[in-house]
Chain A
Amino acid sequence: MEKKQSKLSIVTNGLLHENPNLRLVLGTCPTLAITTSVFNSIGMGLAATFVLIFSNMAISACRKIIPDKVRIPAFITIIAGFVTVVMMLVQAFVQPLYQALGVYLPLIVVNCIILGRAEMFASKNGVLDSALDGLGMGIGFTLTLTAMGFIRELLGAGTLFGIQILPDAVEPMAILASPPGGFFVFGVLMALAIMLDEKQGRKVDADPEKIGCAGCPNSKNCHGEGGCE
């Protein structure tokens, strides 16, 4: 890190500028798969946030003793431990959510956001900063999922939290509840996030031809050394 980030900016970083879904494009599988309802979205977001915060803290605490060569298996093992905890908790206390999320709950283990933050942030920063980063990323993830769930459930099924909102005369657009609709909403939200980010004065070069390391939101973590291609 060239400059020490303020604690607040570490948290807010995950909301928009490095929003894990919309700007880093990580963890898209659960984003597309489980956002057919707001309830599932919030549940998934909270579960992932919990894992993010604790795995970031644990990995940050162990970062000096994990040998570089085996860091990925070590990270995955730590993450898997926390995911198991979350799974058991959800199964015990929120049975409907456990059934709705199905395989996507254990799949948090291989969610790119969590491994990505471990690799990009927690393995290079202190415990407190890592916890804050996990919190910010988790909130960003939850907000994105909730926004998608809101749009897709309201327009795709006419309900919110399972309660009928739209009048019967308005037939819901079934496509939004199906995978192509998920991609549509995801794409539109992504464009919105870039627009908002640009409004805040950050130049976002969305031209894929020009995106080298400079245009990549991860560049400051890998110090422009590449290796992501």
Chain B
Amino acid sequence: MLVKSSPHIRDNSSTQKIMLDVILALCPAILASAIIFGLRALLVIAVTVVSCVVFEYLYCRLMKKPNPIADLSAVVTGILLAFNLPSTLPLWMAVIGAFVSIVIAKQLFGGLGHNFANPAIVGRIVLAVSFAGRMTAYAYPEVTNGVAALAGATPLVATRNADLPLLTLFLGTHGGVLGETCAAALLLGGIWLVVRRVISPVIPVTYLATVAVISLLAGQEPLVQLLSGGLMLGAIFMATDYVTSPYTLTGKLVYGLGLGIITCAIRFWATSAEGVSYAILLMNLLVPYINDLTRQKPLGGGKRK
């Protein structure tokens, strides 16, 4: 019998299948954003998805690389990018965001598998730094009983003064970017991904637990901190990107811990109200080192260099 070199165990999973699962998991949140923010939300999502796919296609065509759009990763990037934008954003800005995500953050570094950070996060941060006013021009869902929800700030800013009911936070009927508000829909998607074994729950759980513990220590309400801002979206969908998260268990724990610490540091002690996207970008950059430092030593193997 011939034994070839590993891997010996094969699985019929492919990038396309995994991405399809992620898209399915994102569907509840897409639906929620359409209900909360109206049809304009769907328009923003459609624009980013189409422009992400078009940019990916054009770049690969221009560079004479094999066409990768069938792996659906550009679609996922497009949806995630749209989830990070307010529904009022001018559409050409969304297109710029898609260009930065796909061409600058992903393809220039070599395409899927070579990007140094989550493309959607880079797109979001470039837009947030460039068009600070537009990116925080959150739409507020219409509320039947008054002006309470129209205070002009996202819960993270608002909770510094007054409390939104937890149920509102959980259902997401408050201001914010498209995909971050409805924690219920995001959790549903997260559970689907874990059940389908697309993501391991280690990173989101460590991340959320760290934030909860630090919130408690800092005298903040942990549940409010968990449910508001982009934390759920970031922890479940953005931080778990295969390319930009560690592959060892210890590495994942360290990564989640780091994410939680940076997020809380920015939220509680910095001038910016939200720190999830910067936390993910910073930890993305550290992933190669985390992987190196937490690699398992082969049994009987010598000292690691």
Report how many residues on chain A are interfacial, defined by Cβ distance under 8 Å. Answer: 12
Q: Within the assembled complex, what's the spacing in Å between the Cα atoms of A214 and B93?
A: 44
Choose among B93, B108, B129 the residue that contacts A188 (Cβ–Cβ < 8 A). B108
**1/0 per position for A161-180, CB-CB distance to B under 8 A?**
00000000001111110101
Total A-B residue contacts, Cβ distance less than 8 Å? 24
Choose among B104, B108, B129, B134 the residue that contacts A171 (Cβ–Cβ < 8 A). B134
Q: Is A191 an interface residue, CB under 8 A from the partner?
A: yes
A174 lies within 8 A of B132 (CB): yes
Q: Shortest CB–CB separation between residue A38 and chain B, in angstroms?
A: 20
Q: Within the assembled complex, what's the spacing in Å between the Cα atoms of A167 and B157?
A: 33
Choose among A171, A178, A184, A188 the residue that contacts B131 (Cβ–Cβ < 8 A). A171
Q: Is B96 an interface residue, CB under 8 A from the partner?
A: yes
Choose among B93, B126, B134 the residue that contacts A175 (Cβ–Cβ < 8 A). B126
B130 lies within 8 A of A184 (CB): no
**1/0 per position for A186-220, CB-CB distance to B under 8 A?**
01100100000000000000000000000000000
B129 lies within 8 A of A174 (CB): yes
Q: Within the assembled complex, what's the spacing in Å between the Cα atoms of A180 and B105?
A: 13
B134 lies within 8 A of A178 (CB): no
A175 lies within 8 A of B130 (CB): yes
Report how many residues on chain B are interfacial, defined by Cβ distance under 8 Å. Answer: 10
A173 lies within 8 A of B108 (CB): no
> Which residues 53-80 in B have Cβ within 8 Å of A in the complex?
none
Chain B residues within 8 Å of A175, by CB: 126, 129-130
**1/0 per position for B85-128, CB-CB distance to A under 8 A?**
00000000100100000001000100000000000000000100
**1/0 per position for A143-175, CB-CB distance to B under 8 A?**
000000000000000000000000000011111
**Chain B interface residues toward A at CB < 8 A:** 93, 96, 104, 108, 126, 129-132, 134
Query: Can you give 24 A-B contacts (C-beta < 8 A)?
Result: A171-B93, A171-B130, A171-B131, A171-B134, A172-B130, A173-B96, A173-B126, A173-B130, A173-B131, A174-B129, A174-B130, A174-B131, A174-B132, A175-B126, A175-B129, A175-B130, A176-B130, A178-B129, A180-B129, A184-B104, A187-B108, A188-B104, A188-B108, A191-B108
| Pairs A-B, 3 closest by C-beta atoms | A173-B130, A175-B129, A175-B130
